[in-house]
Amino acid sequence: MKKVALVTGGAGFLGSHLCEKLIASDISVIAMDNLLTGSMTNIEHLIGNENFKFVKHDVTEFIHVPGRVDYILHFASPASPIDYLKLPIQTLKVGSLGTHKALGLAKEKGARFLIASTSEVYGDPEIHPQKEDYWGNVNPVGPRGVYDEAKRFAEAMTMGYHRFHNVDTRIVRIFNTYGPRMRLNDGRALPAFVSQALSGEDITVFGDGSQTRSFCYVDDLIDGIYKLLMSNETEPVNIGNPNEITIKQFAEEVIRITGTTSTIIYKDLPQDDPKVRQPDITRARTILNWEPKVDREEGLNRTIDNFKTRI
């Protein structure tokens, strides 16, 4: 009998790539999504596959899934700064109530549970690069607090179910990720810069662009998450690409690779925007034997090709 995985947020950017990876690994997938930020176009190529089923449901409400479930991967959540500014209550609810419901189902089914956490649990970090044992520097009442605290709560809830109910759990802390199917207008730097470059608009760098990020190509990220799911590691694991770049350099890179005539304009830096971010991936390297393989130039080219078909 094939194993069965439930992917919440299965119609999202990461969720849809994860569904593909699980199906390719001979696991049947139930994708669950309320389509608030996810989209059926991300999974339409999977509809009709006998190992794939889609259920439209809001996971902050009781989740009922008939039959066996071996893995639950909780990926439902708005995940870009613009999204969680627009959807603060939904973001808090899916990280708290949604995680509770998904863990309750995992307990009921005896399923392994993996929570998609985030580098945002480190907030505006005072330790660089960020290791998993760093507790973070988060402003609970700032605009990003709704996401950061929801994910911190989700991690705490996951460990609560692990320790008290013996649920078999995994925590992945996902750093900035990009690739095909990323929403063009989710407000993040990468889709913004690529869309602006391809349509000849100004490239909007926030602040002076000296803040840094480290971008991981989606295939690498999904590979790391799958390895974590199949490992025995119950402590949080950073998955991301440690290759760090300033946002200004990144904008210049997008301009060079696309060959656009667009130029950079500067806008206000959003409140609490982290000044630096780079994953320390020693734990993933050691325990999962994982590290990213796709460099930014190649990943960007693949992403730009995908964006061209959608703009």
Site for ligand UDP in 241-270 (CB under 6 A): 247, 269-270
Binding mask 87-126 for ligand UDP (x = CB under 6 A): ----------------------------------------
Task: Report the chain's C-alpha Rg in angstroms.
Answer: 19
- Calpha distance 197→20 (Å, rounded): 29
In this structure, what DSSP letter does residue 67 have? S
* Minimum CB–partner distance for residue 236 and ligand UDP (Å): 18
Listed ranges 40-48, 84-92, 203-211, 281-289: which one lies at the site for ligand UDP (CB under 6 A)? 203-211
- Calpha distance 44→248 (Å, rounded): 36
DSSP string across 78-109? --SHHHHHH-HHHHHHHHHHHHHHHHHHHHHH
Q: How many C-alpha atoms does 92 have within 13 Å on its Cβ side? A: 11
Please identify which residue in 57, 151, 213, 296 interacts with ligand UDP, judged by CB under 6 A: 213
Please identify which residue in 28, 42, 176, 238 interacts with ligand UDP, judged by CB under 6 A: 176
Handedness of CA 231, 235, 240, 242 (dihedral sign): negative
Check binding of 192 to ligand UDP (CB under 6 A).
Answer: yes
How many other C-beta atoms can be found within 10 angstroms of the C-beta atom of residue 90?
22
SS (H, E, C) 155-221: HHHHHHHHHHHCCCEEEEEECCEECCCCCCCCCCHHHHHHHHHHCCCCEEEECCCCCEEECEEHHHH
In single-letter form, the type of residue at position 176 comes to: N
DSSP string across 274-299? -S---B--HHIIIII-------HHHH
Check binding of 296 to ligand UDP (CB under 6 A).
Answer: no
Binding mask 27-66 for ligand UDP (x = CB under 6 A): ----------------------------------------
CB 155 within 8 A of CB 115: yes
Check binding of 211 to ligand UDP (CB under 6 A).
Answer: yes
Listed ranges 4-12, 189-197, 286-294, 295-303: which one lies at the site for ligand UDP (CB under 6 A)? 189-197
Q: What tokens appear for 122 in the block?
A: 């480190």
Nearest partner of 103 among 61, 158, 36, judged by Cα: 158
Listed ranges 157-165, 206-214, 227-235, 288-296: which one lies at the site for ligand UDP (CB under 6 A)? 206-214
| Residue 258 host element (H or E) | helix 247-258
Listed ranges 57-65, 202-210, 230-238, 257-265: which one lies at the site for ligand UDP (CB under 6 A)? 202-210
Check binding of 273 to ligand UDP (CB under 6 A).
Answer: yes
Check binding of 143 to ligand UDP (CB under 6 A).
Answer: no
Listed ranges 5-13, 21-29, 67-75, 183-191: which one lies at the site for ligand UDP (CB under 6 A)? 183-191
Check binding of 189 to ligand UDP (CB under 6 A).
Answer: yes
- How many residues touch ligand UDP (CB under 6 A)? 17
CB 68 within 8 A of CB 28: no
- 147 is known as an active-site residue: yes
Q: Which of 71, 84, 122, 147 is catalytic?
A: 147
Please identify which residue in 49, 204, 231, 234 interacts with ligand UDP, judged by CB under 6 A: 204
* Minimum CB–partner distance for residue 64 and ligand UDP (Å): 33
Q: What are the residue numbers of the active site?
A: 147
Binding-site ranges for ligand UDP (CB under 6 A): 80-81, 176, 187-190, 192, 204-206, 211, 213, 247, 269-270, 273
